[in-house]
Amino acid sequence: QALFQEGVAFARLGLVIIDEQHRFGVEQRRQLQEKGSMPHLLVMTATPIPRTLAMTIHADLDLSVIDELPPGRTPVETVVMPDSRRAELVERMRDLVGAGRQIYWVCPLIEESEILQLRAAEESFAELSAALPNARVGLVHGRLKGAEKAAVMAAFQSGAMQVLVATTVIEVGVDVPNASLMVIEHAERLGLAQLHQLRGRVGRGAAKSTCILLYHPPLAGKARERLRVMRSSQDGFVIARKDMELRGPGEFLGTRQTGLAQMRVADLLRDEALLAGIPDLAERLRARDPAAVEGLLHRWLGGRLGYGQVA
């Protein structure tokens, strides 16, 4: 991310590749594209954010989809479970550890919050350490120093540690094929993209893998729907499409990546069949009366037109 700084200049920037695109803001991506003269752009993500998915629907982005698992990967079974069944879950973990498997236990927050009723990573670490005396349990979170975090991750990746309690810092960049179970506490508090990214940490080997989404009842309507989608699909684009339905497509010509669109009548998902003809229609309108079109654009959009080029 150091490339976004104003002092970084490129002689001839021709191609920008943004991996894990959902982790960057629109303004950051715009700044990077502006460091060259119309550079080619490739963005990659397992779960497109609503704004980017909307741009693919709007025919503003070419789309390539990898719709099969890499060799050696297995589908992940997803189970939704109330947190009242924690004791039962710990018993299952004991069996898995005895069979030589490894486990992720993910907590959304670092410190206990009575308001949100979220279990802290430290509390779960202490609980699991006591419940699994024959397993080595580790703890990693964003407040650890780099060397400490690296040491814990290295122990887990080498197999010397059987259970890793973590915050969402393990969302990307972790590859442990022997890990076959992931438990996500308070899954109802996380968004679809983050849940899908976390689930991708398991299922990287030949062993059958499971992701358990623990929730604290009662579930609100949107939270219930998010967990239902996670249980029923492993397709990142299906999940992203549902995410757009739930959160809105955001602004094409602005920095909001979610939320209600700036259209009063049209609906991107409902009217998708009509969208293919829009670029041609827009060009015809511009050719017929360019002055009127420019006037409308500047009246309603002002200086936001440049955001239309930011994927």
The band of 199, judged by pLDDT with boundaries at 50, 70 and 90, is very high
Band (pLDDT 50/70/90 cuts) for residue 115 is: very low
Q: Which two tokens stand for residue 54?
A: 């909307």
In this structure, are 153 and 88 located in the same domain?
yes
Query: Per-residue pLDDT tens for 215-258?
Result: 999 999 999 999 999 999 998 888 888 888 887 765 555 445 44
At 180 the pLDDT is 96
pLDDT, mean over the chain = 81
Measured CA to CA, the distance from residue 3 to residue 28 in angstroms comes to: 10
Task: Classify residue 191: in a domain, yes or no.
Answer: yes
- % helix, strand, coil for the chain, step of 5: 45, 15, 40
How would residue 262 be classed by pLDDT, with cut points 50, 70 and 90? Answer: low
Tell me if 242 is assigned to some domain: no
Please, are residues 255 and 307 in contact by the beta-carbon 8 Å criterion? yes
pLDDT of 308 strictly over 50: no
Residue 132 lies in a domain: yes
CA angle 48, 266, 236 (to 5 degrees): 15
The reply to whether 131 and 189 lie within a common domain is yes
User: In the listed set 234, 266, 293, which residue is the last one of a domain according to the structure?
Assistant: 234
Q: How confident is the model at residue 50 (pLDDT cuts 50, 70, 90)?
A: low
Same domain, 196 and 261: no
Residue 254 CB coordination number (10 Å): 17
Select the more confidently predicted residue: 86 or 22.
86
Find the largest Cα–Cα distance for the chain: 77
- Domain boundary among the residues 234, 258, 289 is at 234
Tell me the residue type at 60. D
Q: How far apart are CA 310 and CA 278, in angstroms?
A: 19
What range defines the domain where residue 270 resides?
2-66+247-309
The DSSP letter of residue 205 is S
Residue 152, Cβ neighbours under 10 Å: how many?
18
Same domain, 230 and 254: no
pTM over 0.95: no
> Measured between alpha carbons, how far is 175 from 251 in angstroms, rounded to an integer?
34
Residues 108 and 169: their CA atoms lie apart, in Å, by 10
The 3-state DSSP class for residue 78 equals: strand
Contact 60, 276 (CB under 8 A): no
Q: Do 204 and 93 fall within a single domain? A: yes
Residue where one domain finishes, among candidates 191, 207, 234: 234
Comparing 265 with 254, which gets the higher pLDDT?
Answer: 265
Q: Collapsing DSSP states into helix, strand and coil, what is residue 297?
A: helix
Residue percentage of the chain with pLDDT more than 90 = 36
3-class SS string, 25-44: CHHHHHHHHCCCCCCEEEEC
Is 123:117 a contact under the CB 8 Å cutoff?
no
- How far the first Cα of the chain sits from its last, in Å, is 17
| Tens digits of residue pLDDT in 147-197 | 999 999 999 999 999 999 998 777 666 889 999 999 999 999 898 988 998
Contact present, 239 and 247 (Cβ < 8 Å): no
- Residue 201's contacts (CB-CB under 8 Å, 6 or more residues apart) are 104, 170, 171, 174, 176, 179, 182
Q: Which residues contact 239 (CB under 8 A, 6 or more apart)?
A: 47, 192, 193, 196, 229, 230, 233
The reported pLDDT for the residue numbered 302 is 65
pLDDT class of 111 with cuts at 50, 70, 90: low
The residues, any chain, with a CB within 8 Å of residue 28's CB and separated by 6 or more, are 1, 4
Give the pLDDT mean for 109-120: 55
Domain count, the chain: 2
Whichever domain contains 110, its CATH number is 3.40.50.300
Q: Output the six-digit token pair for 93.
A: 């973990």
